[in-house]
A and B are shown apart, each in its own frame.
Chain A
Amino acid sequence: MAQFTETPILEAPTAEGSADQTMVLNMGPQHPSTHGVLRLVLEIDGEIVVRLYPEIGYLHTGIEKTCEAKFYQQVVPLTDRIDYLSPMHNNLCYCLAVEKLLELPIPDKAQWVRVLLSELTRLNSHLVWLGTHAMDIGALTVFLYTFREREDILRIFELVAGQRMMTSYFRIGGLAMEPPLDFFERVQSFIKTFPEKIDEYSNLLTGNPIFVNRLQNVGHLSAADAIALGVTGPPLRASGVDFDLRRDMPYSSYEKFQFKVPTSDRCDVWGRYLVRLEEMRESVKIIQQALDGMPMGPVKANAPKIVLPDREKMKTQMESLIHHFKIVTEGFAVPAGEVYQGIESSRGQMGYYVVSDGTAKPYRVHMRNPSFASLQALETMCKGRMLADVVAVIGSIDVVLGEIDR
């Protein structure tokens, strides 16, 4: 391992000197390392970042407004589009929120398949993060390795949901359909070899002196700052705060799984890298437990007025046909009230706030997306450091712009 000498934190220039020394630099919105259309306005003094502010909103599509004009079940495909790397987390969070409003019990098998697929989604998202983060730093090879495994995960998604990315597989009341017969074997064969693949990435990066030097002691964020600025997920845990909604406020039967919550006291980009790598290993353990203990039974709640009937029943039974017709044409009324459901997504705490006025359309849907809040910490992490570190820091908070702008 190479020796690293810490760059001293450079002071911002004095007020009287700054007027003619600094320049304003526009980074993005089409910069390759900004992962989408993030625009950063940087004030730099030579190579040192003096001020930084993100300009967002380029991808604003008004999903929250659109939700208000749709039936509850029609919102599920919209939630996929918020975050293209973890669609299942968005599906899950929305479905849990509506199920909480309905006070609808979900069968065990549906809950376990949801956990299994959530963790596969986390692997999928972390693989893209690892590939692109390493690529931003200059290690191009890793990208090819991680996308090889990601392709396997996307094939599993295609098998189970019929879609590779916009899955919409979790529905209000359970799953869209029973998982196909060879689904569990496919997942089993994937996770059997996956821990070796994580070792492979680790071999490529953890001992790589260029990678280490670019990451260590960069983007310092103390635990107090992380909490004050709303940072969640791996960056929060890499600042030494041991909090994970899966363990601390369990949902969808996560309380039945044994797993560790990796943390690090490094508070820097390197710590976030280590935490995410460790999280991938823990996800594999959760998936293995889900496969081993998968309960039998239905995958949809017994609520004919809310859950669409089976195709076969719909064609042969009058009652099912009526329910099908009513759900598709009129939706289903949800009791008035407001709920907030939080889950731990790949990027941190995701939350859906759903307000119902007792009709078939949500009165208000609000998404709390982790990237949006984490972006506020960018200036704290980059100020007084080199311009090139900004790229590493953006990679370390793993922003997805669709999620920020919605």
Chain B
Amino acid sequence: MSVTLADKESVLREKADHPAVAAIENWKSDSLVDARWDRDELTLTIAREEIVGAGFAVQGAGYNFLEDVTAVDWLPASPRFQISYHIVSHTLKERIRLRVMLDEASPSVDSIIPVWPSANYYEREVFDLFGVRFDGHPNLRRIMMPEEWSGHPLRKDYPVEGYR
């Protein structure tokens, strides 16, 4: 069984010299809302307004490659939407997960295209399937579903068979 560090205090205590944790702490320590070390994966929850800055901070620490952006719908919990960013480092050979929690009413977060241009398609996908808006995205259109589609299929209140 691997070690689990369930809250921010224990991660900051045990993993203080982890490059990503140190980078966020040195940049703006109150932007880190929560942290978790589970199954050898580090998850850092960032305040909603700070994601672009946090992206630049971890990029400076060597996490240079954005692998994936996706969302999880935690209906009926609040905050409802979780946006996960998976970032891998070509030099440290390690992966971290940044996380932003969004409220149900008009979920939106700043686009991280200024940090990693490859987020473009991923943010469009999340917008299309979850209805989360990315502020500052140059081309926020549907990518999978037809343009005229209504609803966002990967939301938990959208039935698997679709609306009949």
Contact = CB atoms under 8 A, between A and B. Distances in A.
A340 B1 contact: no
A201 interface: no
Contacts of A351: 67-68, 86
A373 interface: yes
Given A57-B144, A60-B145, A100-B39, A353 B70 contact: yes
Interface stretch (B22-30, B87-95, B100-108): B87-95
B32 interface: no
A326 to B, nearest CB: 24
Interface stretch (A191-199, A223-231, A260-268): A223-231
B118 interface: yes
Interface in A240-263: 241, 243, 248-249
Nearest to B2: A103
A338 B93 contact: no
Interface string A359-372: 00001101010001
Interface string A329-354: 00000000111101000000101010
Interface stretch (A38-46, A61-69, A135-143, A381-389): A61-69
A261 to B, nearest CB: 12
Given A57-B146, A368-B86, A337 B39 contact: yes
A249 B86 CA distance: 15
Contact of B72 (A241, A363, A368, A405): A363
A366 B95 contact: no
* Chain B contact patch, size range: 35 or more
Contact of B116 (A228, A248, A372): A228
A334 B130 CA distance: 25
A56 B39 contact: no
B132 to A, nearest CB: 14
Contacts of B154: 64-65
Nearest to B40: A100
A364 B153 CA distance: 13
B153 A65 contact: yes
A57 B145 contact: yes
Interface in A75-128: 100-101, 103
Interface centre among A227, A241, A366 (most CB of B within 10 A): A366
Contact of A340 (B68, B94, B118): B68
A275 interface: no
Interface of B: 1-2, 38-39, 41, 43, 64-68, 70, 72-73, 84, 86, 88, 90, 93-95, 97, 116-118, 120-122, 129, 142-146, 153-154, 158, 160
Contacts of B144: 56-57, 60, 405-406
Nearest to B125: A372
Nearest to B119: A230
A400 interface: no
B46 to A, nearest CB: 16
Given A249-B95, A337-B38, A340-B86, A353 B118 contact: no
A376 interface: yes
Given A65-B153, A68-B160, A368 B68 contact: yes
Contacts of B143: 56-57
Nearest to A228: B117
8 contacts: A57-B145, A69-B160, A230-B67, A337-B38, A338-B38, A363-B72, A364-B73, A368-B86
Contacts, number: 94
Contact of A248 (B93, B129, B160): B93
Contacts of A353: 68, 70, 84, 86
A69 B64 CA distance: 35
Contacts of B146: 57
A375 interface: yes
A390 interface: no
A337 B122 CA distance: 22
Contacts of B73: 364
A66 B84 contact: no
Nearest to B128: A57
A230 B153 contact: no
Contacts of A238: none
A355 interface: yes
Nearest to B160: A69
A103 B64 CA distance: 29
Contact of A339 (B39, B64, B122): B39
Contacts of B38: 337-338
B79 to A, nearest CB: 15
Contacts of A366: 68, 70
B68 A241 contact: no
Contacts of B160: 65-66, 68-69
A247 to B, nearest CB: 9
Contacts of B90: 227, 241, 243, 248
Contacts of A248: 90, 93
B54 to A, nearest CB: 18
A250 to B, nearest CB: 10
A83 to B, nearest CB: 16
Given A229-B118, A375-B121, A339 B41 contact: yes
